């Protein structure tokens, strides 16, 4: 199993939460954040608002206010231990409630405990940053055969335009990173979208009864082992 280290081109720094205006905001177009319509101006119609919003979006694009960003972290602990170093603290009943689908400060550790994976505390501050970031954001991870067979790639993708763009940018960055590392078998996936847990395979695993969970986890492990053995046998064949 391959593990990704911290790249040299990660994004760090202050996050732009939108346009920050001083005084009258200069040439920011009508209808955009920070502009106003005071001083006896006639009331604007919906058409005026739509045209203003379109102008604002065009202005933002042409002036490159929206710059999707990516921030990677090393969340997977390299270990020979076959079980997670994080004890599961949630029940299947919890995952059937509204709160079960909402991201909180323990959500990433929950993932590692439920998928029986090794978590690195180096990721604590990075994930706190994700939780506190404004929209639009997604958390991307990658796996080989299934969601417990993670490659070690973890990243936050952030866009000031839309969640769809954050998702697209995040998945592209993940795929490019794996190709650069010459990994041919991998799947890049979204775990969290804004403050919602969106990965269906993970949610299904979390909602299983104890017996179902043990059986599913065993099947996942066997799938990963089958791939490992097949690759080993293939390597022996070409020696």
pLDDT at 64: 52
Q: What is the pLDDT of residues 92-101, one digit of tens each?
A: 999 999 999 9
Cis ω before 136 (30° cut-off from 0): yes
Mean pLDDT in residue range 64-78: 79
Cβ–Cβ under 8 Å, residues 10 and 155: no
pTM of the model: 0.67
**pLDDT at residue 153 tops 60:** yes
pLDDT at 22: 28
pLDDT at 45: 62
**pLDDT at residue 88 tops 80:** yes
**pLDDT at residue 102 tops 50:** yes
Q: What is the pLDDT of residues 15-70, one digit of tens each?
A: 333 222 223 323 322 222 333 333 443 445 666 556 655 665 564 555 454 567 88
pLDDT at 144: 87
Q: What percent of the chain has pLDDT over 90?
A: 43
Q: What percent of the chain has pLDDT over 70?
A: 67
Q: Residue ranges of the alpha helices (H) in the chain?
A: 46-62, 92-95, 107-114, 124-132, 163-180, 200-206, 210-237
Tell the residue number behind the tokens 């179902």, with chain if given: 212
Going by pLDDT thresholds of 50, 70 and 90, the confidence category of residue 225 is: confident
Instruction: List Cα–Cα distances, 171 to 56, 107, 141, 190, in angstroms.
Output: 27, 20, 9, 8
- Provide the token pair at 234: 């293939």
Query: Worst-scoring range by mean pLDDT, 28-37, 97-106, 129-138?
Result: 28-37
pLDDT at 18: 29
pLDDT at 239: 41
DSSP helix/strand/coil, 239: coil
Angstrom distance (rounded) from CA 97 to CA 144: 30
Best CA proximity match to 153, nearest among 71, 67, 69: 71
pLDDT at 81: 82
Q: What is the pLDDT of residues 162-206, one digit of tens each?
A: 999 999 999 999 999 888 877 777 899 999 999 999 999 999 999
Q: How many CB atoms lie within 10 A of CB 230?
A: 10
Best CA proximity match to 16, nearest among 192, 188, 186, 137: 137
DSSP states of 140-176 as a string?
EEEESSSTTSEEEEEEEEE-SS-HHHHHHHHHHHHHH
What lies within 8 Å, CB to CB, of 153 at 6+ separation is 4, 72, 140, 141, 142, 174, 177, 178, 188
């Amino acid at each position: 199993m391959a593990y990704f280290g911290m790249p040299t081109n990660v994004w760090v720094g202050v996050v732009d939460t939108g346009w920050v205006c001083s005084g009258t905001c200069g040439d920011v177009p009508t209808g955009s954040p920070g502009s106003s319509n005071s001083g006896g101006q006639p009331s604007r119609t919906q058409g005026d608002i739509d045209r203003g919003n379109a102008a604002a979006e065009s202005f933002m694009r042409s002036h490159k206010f929206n710059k999707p960003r990516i921030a990677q972290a090393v969340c997977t602990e390299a270990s020979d231990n076959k079980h997670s170093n994080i004890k599961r603290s949630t029940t299947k009943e919890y995952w059937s409630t509204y709160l079960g689908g909402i991201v909180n400060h323990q959500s990433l550790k929950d993932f590692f405990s439920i998928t029986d994976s090794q978590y690195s505390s180096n990721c604590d501050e990075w994930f706190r940053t994700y939780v506190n970031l404004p929209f639009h954001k997604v958390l991307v991870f990658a796996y080989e055969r299934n969601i417990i067979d993670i490659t070690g790639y973890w990243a936050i993708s952030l866009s000031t335009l839309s969640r769809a763009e954050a998702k697209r940018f995040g998945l592209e960055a993940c795929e490019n990173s794996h190709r650069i590392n010459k990994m041919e078998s991998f799947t890049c996936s979204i775990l969290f979208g804004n403050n919602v847990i969106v990965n269906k395979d993970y949610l299904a695993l979390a909602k299983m009864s104890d017996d179902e969970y043990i059986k599913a986890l065993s099947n996942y492990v066997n799938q990963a082992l089958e791939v490992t053995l097949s690759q080993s046998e293939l390597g022996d064949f070409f020696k």
